[in-house]
Amino acid sequence: MSRRERARLQTLGEIKEHALAQVAEGGVQALSLNGIAKAMGMSGPAIYRYFGSRDELLAALVTDGYGEVARTVRQAVEAAARRAPARRLEAVGEAYRDWARANPYRYELLFSIRPPTYSDPSEAIAAIHPGMVAILEILGEIAGPPGAPPAGDKLRGQLLRWAKRRDVGEPRNVLVLKLGVLTWTRVHGIVSLELAGILADMGLDADLLIKAELHDVAATATNP
């Protein structure tokens, strides 16, 4: 890269660091390009040469975060490669929780309520995609060949359309698709309650809850 390209990448990195600091202090609503420009000694118009809007900066932060979550999940799967599929699924849940606990404000950035003008760009979806594929691959091993899908199931149609849009592979067991989504929603729910301090107030161990949920998912995959 040229000196100019290296300087631009460095500035982009600094902008993102300041943005994450804003989020850590005041949530997504605190994200401000003008505030970052002031902190960096830049003019307002100058920072807009790097990010054209607040939503564009948010999209970059989300894309980076999704990518880290997906890499965390894939690395957990690879590290547990010698384990049985159900244990690999547990490793995914543990890794997801560990990342969230180590990065609570980034986790909130990824999964909190977004501004009404914002939607994830294709780059963000592509970044998180490998994480879901890893979960579906494990569940596919547990479930085995697909059985006959239930007729007239509205959720089945939604899952198939989602799988087609996300290109997770065909043919795909609809049960695996459903359990893949439920794996994420269940683990996400437990982690979110833990970060909010609610599970501690209840005297419940998030790790044990995640293991229980994933045990149920694996059991459903084996005996739907």
Question: What would the pLDDT profile of 66-85 be if each residue is shown by its tens digit?
Answer: 999 999 999 999 999 999 99
E-state strands within 65-121: none
Whole-angstrom distance, CA of residue 126 vs CA of residue 140: 21
Q: What is the pLDDT of residue 152?
A: 59
Question: What would the pLDDT profile of 156-190 be if each residue is shown by its tens digit?
Answer: 888 888 888 887 755 468 889 999 999 999 999 99
- Segment 41-57 mean pLDDT: 92
**HEC readout, 151-212:** CCCHHHHHHHHHHHHHCCCCCCCHHHHHHHHHHHHHHHHHHHHHHCCHHHHHCCCHHHHHHH
Whole-angstrom distance, CA of residue 75 vs CA of residue 37: 36
**Domains, the chain:** 1-52 (1.10.10), 60-222 (1.10.357.10)
| Neighbouring C-beta atoms of residue 15, cutoff 10 Å | 22
Question: What would the pLDDT profile of 137-152 be if each residue is shown by its tens digit?
Answer: 999 999 987 665 555 5
**Amino acid (1-letter code) at residue 147:** G
- For the chain, the C-alpha Rg in angstroms (whole number) is 20
Question: What would the pLDDT profile of 102-136 be if each residue is shown by its tens digit?
Answer: 999 999 999 988 888 889 999 999 999 999 999 99
